[in-house]
Amino acid sequence: MAKIGYYSRKPLPLEMHKVCVVQKTEIIPVEERVKAIRKAGFNTYRMESKDIYLDMLTDSGVNAMTNEQLGAMMLGDDCYAGSKTYYRLADKIKEIFNKDYFLPIHQGRACEYMLALAYVKPNPGSIVPMNFQFGTSVGKIKYCGGDYVICLKEEGFNKQSTDPFKGDFDLEKLEGVLKANEGKIAFVRIESGTNLIGGQPISLDNMLAVSELCKKYGVYSVLDASLLQDNLHFIKTRENKYKALSIREIVRKLSDAMDIIYFSARKLGFGRGGAIILNDEKQYEYIKTFVASFEGFPTFGGMSVKEMEAIRVGLDDTMDEDIISQGPQFIEYLANELEAAGIPVVTPPGGLGCHIDAMKFIPQIKHGHYPAGSLASAIYIASGARGMERGAIDEPWDSETEDEPYGSMELVRLAVPRRVYTVSQINYLVDRLCWLRDNKDLIGGLHFETKGPHQFYDALTADSDWPEKLAAKFREDFGDSL
């Protein structure tokens, strides 16, 4: 990571790139923003990009690409089987991860589907222990007749903490699960970093210990490396024991310990795609049959060769400390600015994005009125920034009880796509969130028109005309400013 001291200013995250290509964006007036969020059913997933100023919904598939990636895309060798592109990417993966076999797959959740088809069985249902669940991965496990067990250490659930590695497994709990379910474990899933608890990292030590336990109980260790690039930065900067190792050495140590690695290249590799990589030829041949049936011929697996070339270059960038420190530094800056302004955020800042604790920000909105959904709508009205609800709207319903799921987390995620937004845009957002903090009593709740199970992309209704009142106060305070 570039170490830059400042002479007369408070340090700012410093971009280690210059901009080659830009995309125009605009801010629509606050009254129009209210209409846009109402039309979208107060669900930011349903919004149109034209109405958004800062798109902070996700860091997935929306990271800025380099001129070298764009150039490499022209090398794509479009050929059904055995393209040069496949072999170039396979060589890059071998160089970085030291694994012999690589299956291209069109995105992360499709990798999860392939692994579930291969290893999760019903009657008796297989068990997949994991540090924490992610919607796309557990969906496939359940679909194939299995179930999952969360083995996150207790501190991981603490939203305000100083623990540098909140994504760590509780190793004792994991061992207990492995012991109690001998013969039923499909694999152990290690999510590095841990998305739904705030992009929190897992330590290299913990991942190595999990791999040892997997060996002891004869089960596969499967690394979800989708968010690995941020996690690598945190290992390098927070885990003293491995400070002397280069990023490539850390990856190698981790990779050598894992049986199977998969990732969404919408995050890792700055492209759009995915991959499963492993060393065991027999297992490779086995998983390949599913890839050929469901994804595409196994030398492209549903991916465009242009994206495969971009990912090849993007994976090299992922080994560069200057590059991978950018995301976490911007997130840390945003989180620190918000915390200093008295806005409750998940700490320590993680990767992927900054997470605001909605239950603390607007305590007047209770469960059943969707605090995180309400806050995400209010943030959009105040700023034109689109965040993501991470709470009861997003949570899958339990099909057995049909009860509304109220998890412990009601968060608004403000993802920071890598190298997309500037410090001045982040400062603008902080300003609007400070205004919202001072007007938070105007924020009301949301509800679904119909009771019963709903999907995370379904429409809601505002409990009152609070969005219009919030916009009217904005107009009063800001005059003719957008």
Q: Note whether 44 binds ligand F0G by CB under 6 A.
A: no
187: contact with ligand F0G by CB under 6 A:
no
Figure out which of the listed residues 227, 365, 375, 426 binds ligand F0G, where binding follows CB under 6 A. Answer: 227
Give kind and range of the element (H or E) at residue 411: strand 411-415
Nearer to ligand F0G, 119 or 474 (CB): 119
For the chain, the residue count is 482
**Closer residue to ligand F0G, CB minimum distance, 181 or 195:** 195
Q: Which range, of 17-25, 181-189, 222-230, 391-399, touches ligand F0G by CB under 6 A?
A: 222-230
* Separation CA 101–CA 277 (nearest Å): 6
Residue 264 interacts with ligand F0G (CB under 6 A)? yes
Which residue in 63, 66, 226, 326 binds ligand F0G (CB under 6 A)? 226
CB of 193 to ligand F0G, least distance (A): 8
Restricting to residues 299-338, name those near ligand F0G by CB under 6 A: none
CA distance linking residue 269 with residue 310, whole number of Å: 8
> Cα 202 to chain center, whole Å?
14
Distance CA 85, CA 72 (A): 10
For 477, the 3-state DSSP assignment is: helix
> Which of the ranges 16-24, 64-72, 223-231, 416-424 carries the binding residues for ligand F0G, by CB under 6 A?
223-231
- Interface with ligand F0G (CB under 6 A), residue from 69, 107, 329, 383: 107
If binding is defined by CB under 6 A, does position 136 make contact with ligand F0G? yes
Of these, 43, 63, 181, 195, which contacts ligand F0G (CB under 6 A)? Answer: 195
Rounded-to-integer distance, Cα 406 and Cα 178, Å:
28
DSSP states along 109-171: HHHHHHHHHHH--TTTTPEEEESS--HHHHHHHHHTT-EEEE-B-GGGG-SB---TTTT-B-H
Q: Does 373 bind ligand F0G (CB under 6 A)?
A: no
CA trace torsion 296, 297, 298, 304 (10° rounding): -60
Residue 259 burial (CB count, 10 A): 19
114 near ligand F0G, rule: CB under 6 A? no
Shortest separation between residue 111's beta carbon and ligand F0G, angstroms: 8
Residue 55 or 175 with smaller CB distance to ligand F0G:
55
Shortest Å, Cβ 195 to ligand F0G: 4
Q: Is 274 in the site for ligand F0G (CB under 6 A)?
A: yes
The residue sitting closest to ligand F0G, measured at its beta carbon, is: 108
What tokens appear for 457 in the block?
């992309």
Rounded alpha-carbon distances, angstroms, from residue 322 to 16, 65, 278, 327, 479: 7, 15, 28, 10, 41
Q: Answer yes or no whether residue 231 interacts with ligand F0G by CB under 6 A.
A: no
Radius of gyration of the chain (CA): 22
Cβ-based nearer residue to ligand F0G, 272 or 365: 272
Quick one: which of 92, 266, 288, 390 contacts ligand F0G (CB under 6 A)?
266
Task: Tell me: does residue 133 bind ligand F0G (CB under 6 A).
Answer: no
Find where tokens 């002891």 sit. 216
Identify the H or E element spanning 67.
helix 67-73
Q: Are 148 and 130 in contact (CB under 8 A)?
A: yes
Judged by CB under 6 A, the chain residues 45 through 104 that form the site for ligand F0G are: 58, 60
199 binds ligand F0G (CB under 6 A): no
> Which of 134, 148 has the CB closer to ligand F0G?
134
In this chain, which stretch among 25-33, 76-84, 145-153, 220-228 interacts with ligand F0G, using CB under 6 A? 220-228
How many CA within 13 A on the CB side of residue 103?
Answer: 33
For residues 278 and 415, which CB has a smaller minimum distance to ligand F0G in the complex?
415
Please give the size of the binding site for ligand F0G, defined by CB under 6 A.
15
Distance of CA 477 to the CA centre of its chain: 35
Contacts of 8 (CB under 8 A, 6+ apart): none
Judged by the rule CB under 6 A, the positions of this chain that interact with ligand F0G are 58, 60, 107-109, 134, 136, 191, 195, 224, 226-227, 264, 266, 274
